[in-house]
Structure 1
Amino acid sequence: MANVRKACHKDGYIPSKLLLEHALKEAARAEFTDKMQFAFILLRTLDKRKQNRLDADFQGMRSLYDEHIGLLLGWARQSAPYLHVDSRDQNLVQLVVHIVSHHPPTKSSTQEHVATTLRDLQNQAKNVRSEGAAPKERGTADGSDELHEILTHVTFRRKETKNFSMYFAVYRANGGTICQKKSQLECAQAILKRSHTDGFNWRHLLVLNFDKADDDAQT
């Protein structure tokens, strides 16, 4: 997946149909961790395409995604039997559900199949949450424990502007920015909100302090 990450825009999306086509071919051979990274890059790409659907670079991306939606569903089906024993599989299934829910297929021939698969995946993901996997990670009901954990472990970077400092966190896969706030607390709150609303797993997807420590130890 190194070539896919290199092809990404600094904000974490693939900027052209040709690059997306190459990325999808590479993703078909991806290992588990790379599947997670690619799925997130694909989500960012589709979101960006939705905002800039008239731009030349984004023409044809939606049809290309439609043609390969079976790849994502296949990953999710492979992970589904392990939802109760491995949080990584749970995260991948939730991410696929999120992508397909927000970017449903346009071809009528695949809509019914995708809808059935999506319902099955959503039900399995909900069952895992109801059994305590997600609440165990979140701690208290108001999220204060997890907020403290985010502030402790996520690497927040600072950028100076003319009038004030901005803090931001970045994705491990491609260096894209997830938030830009005037304080680390505000940025952490934004990450926590996303974690609770769509199952975003910041522990796997963001650069953490121990990542930097590992890099320093190797240099």
Structure 2
Amino acid sequence: LLDASVKFAVERFHQISTDEVYGDKPLDYDWRGFTEASPLQPSSPYAASKAAADLLCLAYARTYGLYVTISRSSNNYGKWQHTEKLLPKIISLAEHGQKLPVYGPGLNKRDWLYVLDHCVAVDKIIRHGKAGHIYNVAAGTEMSNLTFIKLVLKILAKDENAIEFTEDRAGHDLRYPMDCEKIKNELDWTPQYTFQEALDETVAWYRSRML
């Protein structure tokens, strides 16, 4: 894609990355989160591939003058998400009366970003972001996986006894706290949807397609 962009003089190239490129922090970490200048310390092969893609983009920007921007977002949720992802998977299992597997004790934390808020952030970056710059995008709705699952079960009016704790997965990052002051200050972006409202709407949408 980068080669083709250079060959055909593409005006803009935007790379959507992930908070996973930074590695993780302890669960009790209470200082400033990762900034765009934080070192890349990916834990998993997937995260390493995303970090490598980010570096390739920045290298093409320097070598070929390609207008590159990068956004690193937290966990997305919303309509049309692949069924392997946590939210639609929880809903499907719960609706079919199956057990809900939770890695380890379920204390690993994630920030949940509504997809439409993410889309607005990407649009602002593409329109007004500076060449060669990186922008963190998160909603400030960090919570443990267990808390998130219980919230979904509450909306579904399902029993928490369906939760089944399983062996933790290899290289399971604890949390990815991110500092998003840059995109807020430079591009005037903040989440417009409240977490509970967006979650309620999303769960209702999935349920309507499963009934």
Shorter-chain TM-score tier: under 0.3
Normalised by the size of structure 2, how large is the TM-score?
A: 0.24
Structure with greater strand share of residues: 2
- Report which structure shows greater RCO (CA 8 Å, sep ≥6): 2
In terms of fraction of residues, the more helix-rich structure is: 1
Name the TM-score, length of structure 1 as normaliser: 0.24
